[in-house]
Amino acid sequence: MITRIEPTAPNTIKFLKYAVERLIERQPLEKGKLIKIRIQDGATPFPEFTENLLDGDDGIKIIDKIEDGDRNVADKLVQLKYYLDDTLKYHTATQMPIPENPDPLTLTIPFIVVDGDGLLKFASELGTENRTPSGEHSPTISISSRALPEVFYYPKTGIGFVDNRRFKFKNDQPEFAVFAEMYERIGNPITRKRILELSRYQEKKPSISNDLLKNMGVKNLAHTLTTYFINELKKKIRKRTGLSVDHLVNNNGEMTLMAGKMGSARK
């Protein structure tokens, strides 16, 4: 007999939403946090399993396969773990579900948080509901309001805030102007070329002399060093602001600030 979980079945989708809702109820979702969720067939959303009594083990008599139909709980536990590992990978790690009662089948599923922000994004995409501690429903999670940090930056002074953390960039450093443009274009990438322009650098081309670059007020940066410069720049910005790799994104030399703007300036 072969037992498998049906990932696209309505019951499985309802179960996944239920499990994710129970997980995000337990905020803060710190890395390494253990969260246990209890499910029961017929009482809570439960995944859809297909149990083909006549599939597999061709050498076994049909009557023996049918009699074996009620001894497949272990197979369901394994299939459920594989499904959750694959569906929630990068966000949680799943330990083997613990059977509490075979009839009705009752399980406790231990989850370990790996990436809380990623789990919140996944919940938003899934369309789950977030419950308040009192048990009331709050609106569906919004990535901009829940998963992303709020940022304020005043480009004339180089002073800014990421949530409640203050930072400052010196006006003679590349990050002063680069972060200002990222903040202005929040959610949209600024190109590799533009980052170099804002930093007063330029990739040297064979036809451009060092003297001409100096007259333009631009520092020469050899082509082979531009990637290194941009990588070091993004590291400095992340370190100063506390932004993560998911919120200050570097993609092939382009930088994007993924955040929400604070509603008003701070003093």
Predicted local distance difference test score (pLDDT) of residue 206: 45
Answer yes or no: do 158 and 132 share one domain.
Answer: no
Predicted local distance difference test score (pLDDT) of residue 135: 45
Q: How many domains does the chain have?
A: 2
Predicted local distance difference test score (pLDDT) of residue 35: 96
The residue ranges of DSSP E strands in 79-192, in sequence order, are 92-94, 98-102, 105-113, 130-131, 137-138, 150-154, 159-162, 165-168
Give the structural domain span for 233.
148-261
| Residue 267 is assigned to a structural domain of this protein | no
CATH of the domain at 153: 1.10.10.10
pTM of the model: 0.46
The string over 231-261, giving b where at least 16 C-beta atoms fall within 10 Å of a residue's C-beta and e elsewhere, is eebbebbeebbebeeebbebeebbbbbbbbe
Residue 200 has a CB neighbour count (10 Å cut-off) of 13
| Residue 234 is assigned to a structural domain of this protein | yes
Answer yes or no: do 24 and 124 share one domain.
Answer: yes
Q: What's the CA gap between 216 and 238, in Å, rounded?
A: 30
| Residue 266 is assigned to a structural domain of this protein | no
Predicted local distance difference test score (pLDDT) of residue 126: 84
**Domain end residue (candidates: 108, 140, 172):** 140
Predicted local distance difference test score (pLDDT) of residue 224: 53
**Domain end residue (candidates: 140, 168, 191):** 140
| Residue 113 is assigned to a structural domain of this protein | yes
Answer yes or no: do 163 and 105 share one domain.
Answer: no
Going from the first residue of the chain to its last (267 residues), give the mean pLDDT of each consecutive group of 10, the final group possibly shorter. 84 94 93 95 93 55 45 82 91 92 91 94 77 43 55 92 90 94 92 90 55 47 69 93 90 88 54
Answer yes or no: do 92 and 155 share one domain.
Answer: no
Answer yes or no: do 247 and 222 share one domain.
Answer: yes
Predicted local distance difference test score (pLDDT) of residue 204: 55
